[in-house]
Structure 1
Amino acid sequence: MQKLVLTEEQQMLKDAAHGLFTEQGPVSQLRKLRDEKDPQGYATEFWNQAVELGLAGVLIPESHGGSGFGHVGMGQVMEQGGRTLTASPLFASGVLGASALMLAGNDSQKETLKEVAAGTHLMALAIDESGRHQPSRVATKAEASGSGFVLTGNKTFVVDGHIANTLVVSARTSGAEGDEQGITLFLVDPKAEGVSVERTIFPDGRNYAKVALQNVTIGSDAVLGEQDKGFATLQKLLDIGSAHLAAELLGLASEACDRAVAYMKERKQFGVYISSFQALQHRAAHLWGELELVKSLVLKALMALDADDERASLLASAAKAKASQVAELATNEGVQLHGGMGMTDEFDIGLYMKRARPVQLLLGDARYHADRVARLNGF
């Protein structure tokens, strides 16, 4: 039986990421980006340091410029980023973009991995077309034209889409909207004629975008994987993304819990510290127990991805569902245990709630993934 523990190397990567995020990407940096309405949405200096540490290439094989540290390794990095709410292209490019190329890219397309690992080429996944995550509901069309295709449609909730050098776009080459068959993945240059990218500023500090495709002409070399059979690749990619978002939610929820407990130890009411109130102790203990469950489930899902386990899809969805539920509990409790001060911008705890809600929805909320777990179990 596989033990749910980190190797020495994985723990070292976690410690290194913790040091970087804490010192160079603290919550104060997020506040600065927010208050200054930074057009880029992340600090260049921090990103350069993260790249120098090798974080952008954790999932990329050494043969393509990365370290090949695997999903467990990257999961530790994502968890630490969740603790500090650091804004960076790491998830969009280093996780989703790199994984898309590794799963379905040909030799020529995989050459871009070296630039992704070097942090000089950013990628973004453009698949959703409505307010809810429905990866098979693709209305964007890719019609054959000469030796290539013409794309027309709209995408929303595209993480870091406004800074991407390449978009991974799902489009329908056959079948009806809602069919899993007939979906093809394409690599699209956001600067190509007919592509419009509009940044959407969310209160969580992460960057999203709306992408409009109007008669965008691309060559056949832009097809990522097999024509009409892109959904299988997309589903594997979404499993990877869900597991790493669960890791981020774990870090976020853990930090919210830690901050709430620390505040309980310094806040007095009726002349005594509120940490001495048994009712509040029960709430903190319940949250701690829930976090331990998420910790084990997230690590199991990441290990399954590394091992190419047939249960990886089920575990990734289970981790995302549970992490989303517990992140909501942790941030709610964090704000409430801070009392009225938790609702003010003076304390950071409210920022954790604002980050948690969009991440809970990204690539499917708790209900979406709970339903998927049931279906994968034959219900």
Structure 2
Amino acid sequence: MLADAARGYLDEAAPVAKLRALRDAGEAHDPALWAEMAQMGWTGVLVPEEAGGSDMGHAAACVLAEEMGKTLAPTPFLSTAVIAATALRQVASARAKAALAKIAEGTVTYALAIDEGSKFDPEAIDLVAEKDGNGFRLSGQKRFVVDGGFADRLLVLARTEGGVTLFDIPADATGVTRSAKPMIDSRDAAEITFDKVEATGEDVLGTVDDAMAVLKPALEAGQAALAAELTGLAAGAFGRTVGYLKERKQFGTLIGTFQALQHRAADLWCECEVTSSAILHAGRMLDTDPENAALAVSVAKARAMDTASLAVREGVQMHGGIGMTDEFDMGFYMRRARVGAEWLGDYGYHAGVVAGLRGF
């Protein structure tokens, strides 16, 4: 029921044409669309009911993300409603609860500032948070901060004296410099420089030197939801491709009657179905056994990347010449698939996680 409701809304309010229009206007975010999603309760899908959310769980969040992937809806759903909300709910402070309430209301957006190198690696950070009286001073740079160009707040991972610490700071704090870097999929990312940015003890999310206690569940939630978005993307590309096979004629014959193309379409459908099962399993594991969800999440993310890549390649090839043109929407799916393959860990990263958890 949630998927059906989401699909009906997104087809009308956030088709691929919406993303194209935002790209042509030089915009990466539609606040009005985000406000409507908040009214429907989507921004609070992982927010506890006492903070104004619906608390439907990770499986539901994955359902929404998958439907958004089908139309490439340009929203900060993953960074705000999934990653930030999951991190904040690990903390019992009044400030965290207030932040969760704002997420549910749709009045605040977050971005996750972790990456500093060319690949996702939460442990390989150089941004330093030096002690300064009762607080800290953050200095360093973060790259590939998705939604970082317009986010209201930043979750920043920094190295402290005894480990790594997660900070929740305003994106417009003194000393923060944001350089917007539109990605190939027309969404927003940013490079952010921190020049002795002041942070108090209250800005620490969780415990000093122990960021992963808060960040690990948030990352896994984000990886599962991103995998769901990629699976939706594959389904959206597949649907467009099958529709084209049913209407395009070559020498007076529908190309969908060609057995070779039928076999390729059937193979892609099977891959999408298996990956959808992996996504559902990851969401259920996060809801029922979050301490042991890492394997299911990495399997889902690795499979989703592989399936999305196959779907867009097949889509471009089976559409022939028009599949390569900007006027045709398949290129948007291909570019989003490429960005999704890098964010929060590429195929090699998640294959390594799976291998490690299986004892190899």
Q: TM-score range by the shorter chain?
A: over 0.9
Distance 2:45 2:264 in 1: 37
- The yes-or-no answer on 1:279 pairing with 2:260 is yes
Q: How much does 1:105 deviate?
A: 5.2
2:187 maps to a residue whose letter is R
Q: How much does 1:309 deviate?
A: 4.3
Aligned to 1:213: 194
- The yes-or-no answer on 1:132 pairing with 2:113 is no
TM-superposition CA deviations, 1:104-136 (whole Å, max 9, x none): 352322211111110101111101111210111
Tell me if the contact between 1:136 and 1:231 (Cα under 8 Å) persists in the aligned partners: no
1:149 maps to a residue whose letter is F
Distance 2:215 2:92 in 1: 12
TM-superposition CA deviations, 1:78-107 (whole Å, max 9, x none): 011100011012111111111110123523
- The yes-or-no answer on 1:148 pairing with 2:132 is no
SS of the equivalent of 2:26 reads coil
Distance 2:245 2:160 in 1: 57
Matches within 5 A, 1:178-327: 182-327=163-308
Q: How much does 1:363 deviate?
A: 0.2
Distance 1:146 1:332 in 2: 55
Aligned to 2:18: 29
- The yes-or-no answer on 1:100 pairing with 2:87 is yes
Aligned to 1:78: 65
Distance 1:34 1:257 in 2: 23
TM-superposition CA deviations, 1:237-276 (whole Å, max 9, x none): 1111110000000100011011111111111112211111
Tell me if the contact between 1:301 and 1:312 (Cα under 8 Å) persists in the aligned partners: yes
2:355 maps to a residue whose letter is A
SS of the equivalent of 2:178 reads strand
Distance 1:42 1:145 in 2: 36
Distance 1:329 1:68 in 2: 34
SS of the equivalent of 1:217 reads strand
Aligned to 1:14: 3
SS of the equivalent of 1:163 reads coil
Aligned to 2:96: 109
Distance 1:347 1:14 in 2: 26
Tell me if the contact between 2:295 and 2:354 (Cα under 8 Å) persists in the aligned partners: yes
Tell me if the contact between 2:217 and 2:290 (Cα under 8 Å) persists in the aligned partners: no
Q: How much does 1:198 deviate?
A: 1.3
Distance 1:168 1:44 in 2: 20
Tell me if the contact between 2:309 and 2:337 (Cα under 8 Å) persists in the aligned partners: yes
What is the TM-score when the length of structure 2 is the normalising length? 0.98
Q: How much does 1:165 deviate?
A: 1.6
SS of the equivalent of 1:304 reads helix
Tell me if the contact between 1:188 and 1:218 (Cα under 8 Å) persists in the aligned partners: yes
Matches within 5 A, 1:159-174: 159-174=146-161
Q: How much does 1:223 deviate?
A: 0.7
Distance 1:304 1:200 in 2: 35
Tell me if the contact between 1:143 and 1:173 (Cα under 8 Å) persists in the aligned partners: yes
How many percent identity over aligned positions?
47
Aligned to 1:4: none
Number of equivalent positions: 360
1:119 maps to a residue whose letter is G
Tell me if the contact between 1:133 and 1:363 (Cα under 8 Å) persists in the aligned partners: yes
Aligned to 2:317: 336
- The yes-or-no answer on 1:52 pairing with 2:33 is no
Distance 1:281 1:209 in 2: 42
Aligned to 2:53: 66
Tell me if the contact between 1:106 and 1:225 (Cα under 8 Å) persists in the aligned partners: no
TM-superposition CA deviations, 1:278-336 (whole Å, max 9, x none): 11111111111111110100000000001124431110011000000110000000010
SS of the equivalent of 2:190 reads strand
The runs of 5 or more residues in structure 2 that have no matched partner are: none
Tell me if the contact between 1:20 and 1:50 (Cα under 8 Å) persists in the aligned partners: no
TM-superposition CA deviations, 1:319-375 (whole Å, max 9, x none): 000000110000000010000110012211111001110011100011110111111
**Could you list the runs of 4 or more consecutive aligned residues of structure 1 that deviate by over 3 angstroms after TM superposition?**
none
